[in-house]
Amino acid sequence: MEFILLPEMVDGLIFAMENQNTRFLFDAGTGCCIPDECKSDDEEDRYYDIPRWDPAHGFHIMEQFTTQVHNPLLREALREALSQRKGVFRRYKEVLRTAPAIEQEWYRFKDNRMKAAVYEWYNELRTMWGLEKICFEEETEPQLLLQDFIFTEQPAMTLDSAVLQNFISAAAHYDTSADERSRGTEATLMEASMLLGKAWLLYIDTNLETEEMGDNKTEQDNTVILSAYTNDELCAVCVITELHGSPSLCIPFLRVIPEYRGLGLGKELLQRALDYAEQHEAQSLLFSDFCTPPHFIAQLERQGFSQQGLFYIYEGRFSAAK
């Protein structure tokens, strides 16, 4: 019996495929999956074996997903979970729970792979029926994840100093070596914070009003922070400040905490910073975070920043608009 594969049928098939305790058949007459013992013997041609999906298939897609995780710490933790002799699936899920945004992407990835298996199964049936195969368009748009975040723009002085300190502490903890982290002293944290961007120290001390940066002054009152939140957690920060006596703006600090790296948050904040600079008629945008990861340097260059000495400077559409 031929049938048209509808979205609700795909969902039902995936649900049945994941059930390892019951053997299901697909009933083309009702479009539902039923336990094998519930089939009617007088209409054999309406029942089909569902796509095969066993623990080996699940393990394989976990391996595939792990290779695509950009966050090195999380990727290593997932690999460690996969290397366990027992409880691999449980351990893998426990690691993913520590990074909610990546966990969501895992479920999207897994769902896509299982849908692909369903469409492959259905195309085999269509070939048997003498029909042309149909295409499966995988849902791979990573920017959909950005919908899970709330982006804000606010003056630096309106943010809670403790929240900012906690954020930079989290970034410093993961962006320094294991030996530095093991010392766990306040001096080490300050050293790490300086490595993350010396100018950032200006913004985590509410007692500081101005500070020298080269030949220019920066002022907290003229500083804006672009942020990304999810579940009330501060996930990413981009600082934009005016350079005293200059028509240019500066980014002294842009960082995404480790749990949320690899989702495009840094790219999104950089784009928002460019939009902000254009709206405020800046002549150029100076990027001066000296501890930027190499992969983000490549992102800067793709966005049109060019290296000039120690800094990366964007003039691009600003100069074109004048």
Residue 116, pLDDT above cutoff 80: yes
Question: Which of 38 and 201 is assigned the larger pLDDT?
Answer: 38
Residue 16: pLDDT above 90? yes
pLDDT tens-digit map of 145-173: 667 788 999 887 777 777 777 787 776 65
Give the pair of three-digit tokens for residue 228: 């990304």
Q: Give the model's pLDDT for residue 223.
A: 85
Residue 289 has pLDDT above 80, yes or no: no
Model pLDDT, residue 260:
77
For the CA atoms of 268, 270, 274, 276, the dihedral, rounded to the nearest 10 degrees, stands at 80
pLDDT of residue 320: 54
- Lookup: tokens for 141: 């748009």
- Rounded mean pLDDT of the chain? 79
Query: Residue 23: pLDDT above 90?
Result: yes
User: Does pLDDT of 282 surpass 60?
Assistant: yes
Are 202 and 244 in contact by the 8 Å Cβ rule? The answer is no
196, pLDDT greater than 50: no
The DSSP call for residue 50 is: P
pLDDT at position 321, please? 52
Percent of the chain with pLDDT over 90: 39
Q: What is the pTM of this model?
A: 0.54
Please give the C-alpha separations between residue 287 and each of 231, 283, 307, in angstroms, as whole numbers.
29, 13, 9
Q: What is the pLDDT of residues 4-14, one digit of tens each?
A: 999 899 999 99
Q: Is 181 helix (H, G, I), strand (E, B) or coil?
A: helix
pLDDT at 172: 62
Confidence of residue 44 (pLDDT cuts 50, 70, 90): confident
**What are 181's two structure tokens?**
């982290």
The neighbour count for residue 261, using CB atoms within 10 Å, is 26
For the stretch 197-211, pLDDT in tens is 444 444 444 333 333
Contacts of 319 (CB under 8 A, 6+ apart): 283, 284
How many other C-beta atoms can be found within 10 angstroms of the C-beta atom of residue 182? 8
The DSSP secondary-structure symbol of 52 reads P
User: pLDDT at residue 186 above 50?
Assistant: no
